Amino acid sequence: MELTHSYRKPGQTIVTLAITGASGAALAAEALRALEADARVARVHLVASPSALRVLAEETGISGRIDLAEKLAGHPCPKVLQHAHEDVGAAIASGSYPIDAMIVIPCSMGTLAGIAHGLASNLIERAADVCLKERRKLVLCVRETPLNLIHLRNMTAVAEAGATVFPVVPAFYAKPQSMEEMVRTYVQRVLAHIGLEQSDAYVWGSE
Ligand SMILES: Cc1cc2nc3c(=O)[nH]c(=O)nc-3n(C[C@H](O)[C@H](O)[C@H](O)COP(=O)(O)O)c2cc1C
């Protein structure tokens, strides 16, 4: 067990980044790169579900969970600590560990359902459950279309419990010129939501 004060400077943030099996591997990669590069971030706890690995292979060609952060970011990620999906004994599974925020990006309807119903049957669901009980920021970047009534009810349930439902929907008014720009703008909005505003983010009406 590492001591948080050994790597966390005053004011620095500790974030959990969870990747599930919804479409949107590029969003996870962009979020990981941004968190790793951000001097305000001390530690990133990374968890990917088996389905996330399946989708990552499909969308990016990345295979396996060994050194996943490095593969996603394209360079070494010394701030990132990766945990096994089934390891409900990891630090982030306990409310005593000082996480500031958790982002599930992308968030599948399956994981949304698990969180909405408090299943805590894997590390992603458990860490999210802990964020809700400890009143910490939990951002769920849900992706599915169209949405059925079960999806909608589960989104209502998590929102009532304190999570932010942050659907993967691009901002067309920013006039993105590429998919990369669209992905970056979306991820920057997510990071701003947990207090990590990005200096180069698109801001409507700025001079
Ligand atoms: C290529 C691919 C794309 C998928 N896209 C989505 C999606 O956008 N949203 C979603 O809810 N599920 C999607 N799924 C299905 C989930 O991966 C599946 O429901 C899985 O059980 C979710 O498990 P997890 O929440 O533990 O990651 C996709 C599956 C594959 C193989």
Do 121 and 114 form a contact (C-beta atoms < 8 A)? yes
The confidence score (pLDDT) of residue 207 equals 62
With a CB cutoff of 8 Å and minimum separation 6, the contacts of 112 are: 140, 142, 151, 154, 155, 158
**Cα 110 to averaged position of ligand 1 atoms, centre (Å):** 7
Ligand 1 pocket test: pick from 23, 65, 85 the residue with the most ligand atoms within 8 Å of its Cβ. Answer: 23
Q: What is the pLDDT of residue 196?
A: 97
Does the CB atom of residue 144 touch ligand 1 within 6 A? yes
Q: Is 154 in the pocket of ligand 1 (CB under 6 A)?
A: no
DSSP 60-128: H---SSTTHHHHHHSS--TTEEEE-TT-TTSGGGSTTS---EEEEEEE-HHHHHHHHTT---SHHHHHH
Which sign, positive or negative, has the C-alpha torsion 88, 38, 22, 164?
A: positive
In the chain, the domains with their CATH numbers are: 4-193 (3.40.50.1950)
Query: Binding site for FMN: residue ranges?
Result: 21-23, 49, 108-111, 143
State in Å: Cα 46 to ligand 1 middle: 18
Which ranges of the chain have pLDDT less than 70?
Answer: 1, 5, 207
- Please tell me the distance from the alpha carbon of residue 139 to that of residue 167, in angstroms, as a whole number: 10
- pLDDT at position 6: 82
Distance CA 91, CA 55 (A): 26
Sign of the Cα pseudo-torsion (113, 107, 78, 14, in order): negative
pLDDT of residue 206: 75
pLDDT in the model for residue 121:
98
CA of 206 to the centre of ligand 1 (A): 37
